[in-house]
């Protein structure tokens, strides 16, 4: 490959400007306009996490679901009305726990008193998720700010944007690649399953009548499968039944999720597949052996996720209520 033809040089120069163009966010965006911002986020979300330990996982997943569709712009927080069906009503978003929404709304309520109309809901969500990861024992994330909130939220935008537990690893990789993530970054991000829960209907096919030869998925350790069968025995009648994603240290943000995958303790089919697929297995091994490396890679990947397609200036607004646009449209 030669680099001296004009088109190649042009491409090279424009590409080399991309990182600085995308870097519209800064760590001290609210330093002058809302100096209490980070302290307030910390105080409110840590208090909520203390009373409701499901908050951290709920908020982290909410950030993931916000950022995957049209970027990190709080479009996930908008509620539907008579004129508009919003993102959060898409089937893929229905299981999102109310604790994440509540954490953001609580922070917003306080910030609207401290510095009205200044802090975007998208920034609150990113800050809250970062703080809660650290609060759960995970890495300290360098979250940057300056996101504007979206001017729309459409249920149809969520179609085909999310990985599902019944997808093949190739489908999952394609999805993350489309958003600019490498396989390694993807594996690090899925390490978020070190906290939180999944409802039985998301993995029940692995427990009841899995195949002609095996009632349960042989990728599960037998004891784990037996425990899950018991836990989920009434799941068709009681849809609230759910299991911890990380059965060993369910509320601690650590690398136990990856260690679990080696022992047949991956809850979702895609979790188990990370350990069997030769494209992802080496990263699972690395992260299972080295928590520091997992923390480092997770931090970079989540910072990248939380800067996806962010809106600035007139592309968005600072909502005064996180669940609705400033003007009815
Ligand atoms: C292969 C990719 C992924 C698949 C198939 C997947 C699927 C799921 C499913 C089905 C649940 C359970 C939902 C429920 O029943 O309530 C879940 C929970 C969760 N996911 Fe993922 N996910 C993936 C990647 C990610 C990523 C990249 C993140 C964040 C960076 C993430 C964060 C979470 C968290 C924190 C929970 C627990 C939520 C709670 O307890 O409220 N997931 N995921
Ligand atoms: C996965 O399950 C959903 C329903 O839960 C279904 O709509 C979809 O087609 C399935 N995808 C694959 C790849 O099997
Ligand atoms: C399932 O339902 C049966 C009958 O109501 C009850 O005895 C059992 O404890 C339930 N199992 C779980 C895990 O809730």
Is residue 53, in this structure, part of any structural domain at all? yes
Residues 311 and 296 grouped into a single domain: no
Residues 45 and 154 grouped into a single domain: yes
Residues 152 and 194 grouped into a single domain: no
Interatomic CA distance for residues 177 and 13, integer angstroms = 23
- Identify the H or E element spanning 82: none
Residues 124 and 223 grouped into a single domain: no
Catalytic residue among 65, 90, 199, 205: 65
Segment 106-124 shows an average pLDDT of 98
pLDDT at 57 over 90: yes
Sign of CA dihedral 321, 324, 328, 329: positive
Ligand 1 centroid vs 178 CA: distance in angstroms? Answer: 18
Write down the pTM of the prediction: 0.93
Residues 119 and 212 grouped into a single domain: no
* Helix axes 121-135 and 291-305, enclosed angle (nearest 10): 170
- Identify the H or E element spanning 90: none
Determine contact, residues 142/25, Cβ cutoff 8 Å. Answer: no
Determine contact, residues 241/200, Cβ cutoff 8 Å. Answer: yes
Residues 232 and 295 grouped into a single domain: yes
**205 has catalytic annotation:** no
The domain that holds 137 is classified in CATH as 1.10.520.10
Nearest bound ligand to the CA of residue 229: 3
Residues 323 and 206 grouped into a single domain: no
Q: 204: Cβ below 6 Å to ligand 2?
A: no
Determine contact, residues 105/121, Cβ cutoff 8 Å. Answer: no
Position 24 scores a pLDDT of: 84
pLDDT at 296 over 70: yes
Q: 193: Cβ below 6 Å to ligand 1?
A: yes
Give the DSSP letter of residue 214. Answer: -
Determine contact, residues 26/146, Cβ cutoff 8 Å. Answer: yes
As annotated, the binding site for substrate includes 163
Total number of domains constituting the chain: 2
Residues 296 and 308 grouped into a single domain: no
Position 1 scores a pLDDT of: 45
Q: Domain span at residue 35?
A: 19-160+304-328
Please report the DSSP string for 91-132 in residue order: TTTTTS-HHHHHHHHHHHHHHHHHSTTTS-HHHHHHHHHHHH
Position with higher pLDDT, 12 vs 219:
219
Give the pLDDT confidence of 64-105 residue by residue, as tens digits. Answer: 999 999 999 999 999 999 999 999 999 999 999 999 999 999
Residues 140 and 219 grouped into a single domain: no
Segment 303-328 shows an average pLDDT of 94
Q: 202: Cβ below 6 Å to ligand 1?
A: yes
Alpha-carbon distance values, 226 to 210, 243, 299 (Å): 13, 13, 35
């Amino acid at each position: 490959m030669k680099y001296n033809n004009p088109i190649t040089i042009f491409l090279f120069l424009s590409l080399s400007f991309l990182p600085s163009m995308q870097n519209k966010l800064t760590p001290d965006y609210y330093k002058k306009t809302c100096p209490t911002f980070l302290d307030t986020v910390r105080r409110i979300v840590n208090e909520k996490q203390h009373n409701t330990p499901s908050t951290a996982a709920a908020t982290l997943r909410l950030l993931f679901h916000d950022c995957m569709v049209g970027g990190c712009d709080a479009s996930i927080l908008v509620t539907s009305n008579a004129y508009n069906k919003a993102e959060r009503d898409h089937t893929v978003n229905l299981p999102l726990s109310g604790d994440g929404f509540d954490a953001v709304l609580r922070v917003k309520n306080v910030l609207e008193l401290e510095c009205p109309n200044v802090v975007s809901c998208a920034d609150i969500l990113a800050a809250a998720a970062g703080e809660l990861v650290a609060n759960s024992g995970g890495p300290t994330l360098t979250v940057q700010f300056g996101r504007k909130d979206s001017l729309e939220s459409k249920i149809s935008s969520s179609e085909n944007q999310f990985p599902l537990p019944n997808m093949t690893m190739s489908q999952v990789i394609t999805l993350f690649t489309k958003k600019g993530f490498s396989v390694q970054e993807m594996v690090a991000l899925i390490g978020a399953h070190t906290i939180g829960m999944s409802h039985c209907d998301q993995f029940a096919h692995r427990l009841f009548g899995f195949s002609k030869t095996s009632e349960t998925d042989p990728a599960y350790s037998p004891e784990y499968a037996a425990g899950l069968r018991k836990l989920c025995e009434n799941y068709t009648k009681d849809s609230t039944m759910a299991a911890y994603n990380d059965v060993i240290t369910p509320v601690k943000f650590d690398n136990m999720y990856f260690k679990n995958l080696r022992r047949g303790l991956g809850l979702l089919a895609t979790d188990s597949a990370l350990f069997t697929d030769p494209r992802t297995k080496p990263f699972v091994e690395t992260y299972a052996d080295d928590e520091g490396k997992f923390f480092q890679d997770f931090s970079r990947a989540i910072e990248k996720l939380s800067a996806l397609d962010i809106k600035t200036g007139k592309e968005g607004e600072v909502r005064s209520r996180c669940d609705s646009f400033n003007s009815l449209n």
